[in-house]
Amino acid sequence: MPTDADRPSPDTLRVRGLRHAYGPTEVLQPIDLEVPAGRVVALIGPSGCGKTTLLHLCAGLLAPQQGRIEQPFAPAAVMFQQPRLLPWMSTLDNIALGLKARGVGKAERHARARAAALQLELPAEALAQYPAELSGGMQSRAALARALVLQPALLLMDEPFSALDVGLRGQLHRLLLARQADTGMAVLLITHDLMEAVRLADEVLVLAAAPGRIVARYAPPGAARTRGEALVHHCAAELQQHPAVRAAFGLPRLEAGQGQAEDRSRPPAQVAGAWLAAPASAATPAGMADEC
C-alpha cells in the first residue's frame, strides 16, 4: 500500500523522454528528470553536452521537439551565466524589472527590490549605481536578487556563480540555501563544479556528451545546509571516482583502490552519498555498487 511519501508530489517539474536536435545534430537523447518542490537538482557534465539546451527547454525558451515537460510552478525565474543586467538602468531598477513587467507599481516594486537586495547583502549605495560601476560579485548578487524578488516557485540557474571567487561563491551558496529552505522553491542548477553540485543539491545528475544523456544520479547525504566542508570534499571525490563520471569528463580510468588511497578526508561510511538508479539507456559501469 503506497504511503503519502511514496506518491509523486504534484508540484514537480517533470521531464519525460525529452530529445533535442539542432538541425541534423542530436544534442539530447531521451532525458527523464524530476525536480520536486523544495528540492535542488544539479546538472553537471562536460562543455557542450547539452546542459543549457535542457535548461532552456525547461524554461520554455526552446520548444520541445520530442518528449514532454510538465512545468506546474508559477512563477518561474531564470538566472543566466552572465548577469545580463541592463546597462542603462540603475541596479535597483534592474532588480525590480520583472516586477515592473508584472505591473507592480513603482513604490512597491522598489520596496520589494530593496528588501531582496538587503537579503543578498547588496550595499545600499550599489542600488543607485549602474551595472558597469559594480564588481562582478555585486552584479551576480543583483542578478540573483532580480530572480528572487519574483518569489519564484522554480528557479532555473545556468552556471550562475562560475565567474566568482571561492569566497563570494560560498557566500552566495549560503544565501541561496537559506532562501530555498525558507521558501521551499524548487531549483534546477547547472554547474561545471562538482563541489558546488554536492554542496547545494539534493540530487546530482551527470550528463555525458554527444549526444547528451544522463549517465549517473547521485544523492549527497543529509540536508545541504548541514553539509560541512569535509563531507562536501568527500562527496565530490566520490562523485569524481565514479567510472561513468570519469568517462563523461574524459578523465582516465582509476586503477583498483586508487581513489580510496587518495581520499584522506573520508568521513564514516554511513554519511557517504547514494548512487541512484540511472536510466536504462545509460549503462551502469561494471562493478559499481548501487549504494556506496
Ligand X SMILES: Nc1ncnc2c1ncn2[C@@H]1O[C@H](COP(=O)(O)OP(=O)(O)OP(=O)(O)O)[C@@H](O)[C@H]1O
Helices 166-183, 136-148: inter-axial angle, 10-degree rounding: 10
Q: Helix, strand, or coil here: 87?
A: coil
| Binding status of residue 99 toward ligand X by CB under 6 A | no
45 vs 152, which CB is nearer to ligand X? Answer: 45
CB contact at 8 A, 173 and 142: no
> By CB under 6 A, what part of segment 20-39 binds ligand X?
22, 27
Q: Which stretch binds ligand X (CB under 6 A): 1-9, 47-55, 163-171, 178-186?
A: 47-55
The torsion defined by the Cα of 123, 127, 132 and 133, in degrees rounded to 10, comes to -50
Q: Which stretch binds ligand X (CB under 6 A): 43-51, 97-105, 129-137, 223-231?
A: 43-51
Q: What is the nearest approach in angstroms of ligand X to the Cβ of residue 281?
A: 18
126 vs 248, which CB is nearer to ligand X? Answer: 248
Q: Which stretch binds ligand X (CB under 6 A): 40-48, 109-117, 238-246, 272-280?
A: 40-48
| Binding status of residue 270 toward ligand X by CB under 6 A | no
Q: What is the nearest approach in angstroms of ligand X to the Cβ of residue 90?
A: 30
Cell 537586495, residue located = 117
| Binding status of residue 65 toward ligand X by CB under 6 A | no
C-alpha span between 258 and 271 (Å, rounded): 21
CB contact at 8 A, 30 and 168: no
**CB neighbours (10 Å) of residue 100?**
14
Total of residues contacting ligand X (CB under 6 A): 10
Q: Which stretch binds ligand X (CB under 6 A): 3-11, 48-56, 134-142, 243-251?
A: 48-56
| Binding status of residue 50 toward ligand X by CB under 6 A | yes
Q: What is the nearest approach in angstroms of ligand X to the Cβ of residue 29?
A: 12
The sheet carrying 66-70 orders its strands as 25-36, 12-22, 66-70
| Binding status of residue 47 toward ligand X by CB under 6 A | yes
Q: What is the nearest approach in angstroms of ligand X to the Cβ of residue 51?
A: 4
Which grid coordinates belong to 37? Answer: 518542490
Q: What is the nearest approach in angstroms of ligand X to the Cβ of residue 136?
A: 18
CB contact at 8 A, 175 and 207: no
Which grid coordinates belong to 84? Answer: 545580463
**CB neighbours (10 Å) of residue 37?**
17
Q: What is the nearest approach in angstroms of ligand X to the Cβ of residue 160?
A: 12
| Binding status of residue 53 toward ligand X by CB under 6 A | yes
48 vs 105, which CB is nearer to ligand X? Answer: 48
99 vs 214, which CB is nearer to ligand X? Answer: 214
Q: Which helix (H) or strand (E) holds 51?
A: helix 51-59
Helices 136-148, 106-119: inter-axial angle, 10-degree rounding: 120
| Binding status of residue 52 toward ligand X by CB under 6 A | yes
Residue 68: Cβ-neighbour burial (10 angstroms; 0-12, 13-18, 19+): exposed
Q: What is the nearest approach in angstroms of ligand X to the Cβ of residue 63?
A: 13
Q: Under the rule (CB under 6 A), what is the footprint of ligand X?
A: 22, 27, 45, 47-53
